[in-house]
A and B are shown apart, each in its own frame.
Chain A
């Protein structure tokens, strides 16, 4: 224990004594580690951003999507589309889906219906896409609420339906929650309870309300509107996805005669295990950083080898007073490792500082909702620290070998 502490103390003392040289030699390493950390961080951020983007489009792994359509009636027009189901049909479908979710104890799920209706904005009447969804939908699709809240269970008991709007719709109805507590939408008065922020996606108005509330709106089934048949989204553990597909299909087919049911995984991870759209970008970034790191390490080794020859006498003195070759080797190696880890830490700190700058965040996370911005990737920081320690050990081993080769008395008289 004492030997380890003493070796670290020796290394630190040497760094302190030769701080000018150490500082100069470590600038390259600091820059290299900062570049490497930034590369890994950018890759991680891009991956994280893309993951959130994919999951907000297609659901988290594993999302089972249950779609329904009405069977063709005998004698009907085989080329006619399915058309909008009646509200009664839709409510029956939702009841069956709720029963299935309860039966299989699915923790996160949402019935989803879509409708196009009109609402009264400050500058007149205009159309809006409304999604009928359950409270779990916000978590399942990364919907981040910037103001107010998302839909909650107690909203089911409201006489006036609760509605959550996006930035585009908020701007159309008054610009703030205080200015627009209610909105005339689809022929009903809804209470605006929250605002969703999805970044650039929210230029055009969109709203979310509970599926039954949406179906009960007077205009939702009118001639100017179109309501898709409800579908069910269930977020289940990946290992249960196959069984879940089969059971939901069987259950809903049995519960809804005259309707066809198709259950599929919709999340992006179902596209294939080997699919990694960011791998080429990340390889390029890490490759570039590795070249910078190599150049930094070469500079460090050169300075270390030159300076070690100026310290031959010091090693002779230390050996005369009882330091073994191994102890000298470890001390020189530790000097390098301590130096590069400190340099790496500074490089990482620079990266984290830069990441916190609003202009950099804007650049790196374009299109990602403000509330869902990921923190600085820890993997990048840890990678940077490990690599800096490895570079220190590698760069230190060469001068350390030179240091232990010199003979004591020749070293003292050097």
Chain B
């Protein structure tokens, strides 16, 4: 059974003065545990909309989304929130760290919404995760005082702190230079393998996409397999 199973997923948005905007037009996708998938596409092709649906942030207009064989549509909002927190770790293009918090406090944010035991251990868990991404010397540094590469490392540590089974990376190198971006992708691949999590990367950078085991292209709201890449 795949970790994520999408069949015939469509997503349309109402517009004020025109016909509804059809962004996804029947997407089929299976993501297995430990899978490495990259999705490429032009701006406006529906990459982010698909990411939202994969991350249980958004619901499809039609179609089936199942997580561990359980249809997501049948879950209530709070249940989806809990499942998202426990199962999915996000890495965003703009890092999206919370200003004013230190690196460790940012990494601990997901633990505030998890099980009690992990909440009470949040300082230790956050420190361990920062150590794992090579930032043990920046634990108490405010997020705004970190470099771009360091911020993305903190974001990766945050995504992994609750041991998610699925990591969704939305343009993870988009705000970094090529060299730093390469190092971040190495780190992301490495920690995903260590954590045993599936990694879905959405990017417009073909070089980043090529690192995945499977590369998919989203064109006009539909997903096409482009080539099989060796992991």
Interface residues in B, total, Cβ within 8 A: 32
| Contact of B96 with A322 in the complex, beta carbons under 8 Å | no
Q: How far is the CA of A336 from the CA of B205 in the complex (A)?
A: 44
A314 sits at the interface (CB 8 A): yes
Residue A47, interface by CB 8 Å: no
Partner pick for A327 among B48, B92, B101, B113, CB 8 A cutoff: B113
Is A167 an interface residue, CB under 8 A from the partner?
no
Asked if B110 and A321 make an inter-chain contact with CB atoms under 8 angstroms apart, the answer reads yes
Q: Are B92 and A412 in contact (CB under 8 A)?
A: yes
> How far does the alpha carbon of A61 sit from the alpha carbon of B48 in the complex, in Å?
77
B119 touches A6 (CB 8 A): yes
Q: Is B145 an interface residue (CB 8 A)?
A: no
In the complex, the chain B residue whose C-beta lies closest to that of A319 is B81
Report the minimum CB–CB distance from A312 to chain B (whole Å). Answer: 12
Given A2-B119, A9-B112, A409-B52, also A324-B78 (CB < 8 A): yes
Contact B84 A322, beta carbon cutoff 8 Å: yes
The 8 A CB mask of A1-13 against B (1 = contact, 0 = none) is 1100110011001
Known A10-B112, A321-B113, A324-B82; judge A313-B96 contact (CB<8 A): yes
Asked if B112 and A323 sit within 8 Å, CB to CB, the answer is: yes
B100 and A324 within 8 A (CB): no
Segment 82-96 of B: residues with Cβ below 8 Å from A:
82, 84-86, 89-90, 92, 96
B193 at the binding interface (Cβ < 8 Å): no
Q: Is A46 an interface residue, CB under 8 A from the partner?
A: no
Question: Quick one: CB contact mask for B32-76 with A, threshold 8 Å, 1 for yes?
Answer: 000000000000000010001001011000000000000000000
Please give me the residue from chain A that is nearest to B55 by CB atom: A320
* Complex alpha-carbon distance, A412 and B92, angstroms: 9
In the complex, A325 has a CB within 8 A of chain B: yes
- A-side binding surface: helix, strand, loop or mixed? helix
Name the one of A13, A323, A327, A412 contacting B105, with C-beta atoms under 8 angstroms.
Answer: A13
Let me know if A323 and B96 touch, CB within 8 A.
no
CA of A82 to CA of B20, assembled, Å: 106
Decide if B82 touches A6 in the complex (CB within 8 Å).
Answer: no
Contact of B57 among A13, A17, A326, A408 (CB under 8 A): A408
Which residue of chain B has the shortest Cβ distance to A316 in the bound complex?
A: B96
Kindly state whether residue A18 has any CB partner on chain B within 8 Å: yes
Contact across chains for A412 and B85 when beta carbons are under 8 A apart: no
Partner of B85, one of A5, A317, A321, A326: A321
A318 at the interface (CB under 8 A from B): yes
How many angstroms from the CA of A25 to the CA of B52 in the assembled complex? 36
Which 7 residue pairs of A and B lie closest in terms of their CB atoms, listed nearest first? Answer: A322-B85, A17-B100, A2-B116, A322-B113, A321-B110, A324-B81, A6-B112
Instruction: Give chain A's interface residues, CB within 8 Å of chain B.
Output: 1-2, 5-6, 9-10, 13, 17-18, 313-314, 316-327, 408-409, 412
List, sorted by A's number, 9 A–B pairs whose CB atoms are closer than 8 Å.
Answer: A2-B116, A320-B57, A321-B90, A321-B158, A324-B77, A324-B81, A325-B77, A408-B58, A409-B58
Chain B positions within 8 Å of A, measured between CB atoms, are: 48, 52, 55, 57-58, 77-78, 81-82, 84-86, 89-90, 92, 96, 98-101, 105, 109-110, 112-116, 119-120, 158, 162
Known A2-B115, A323-B85, A409-B58; 9 more pairs at CB < 8 Å: A1-B116, A2-B116, A2-B120, A6-B112, A17-B99, A314-B98, A321-B109, A408-B57, A409-B48
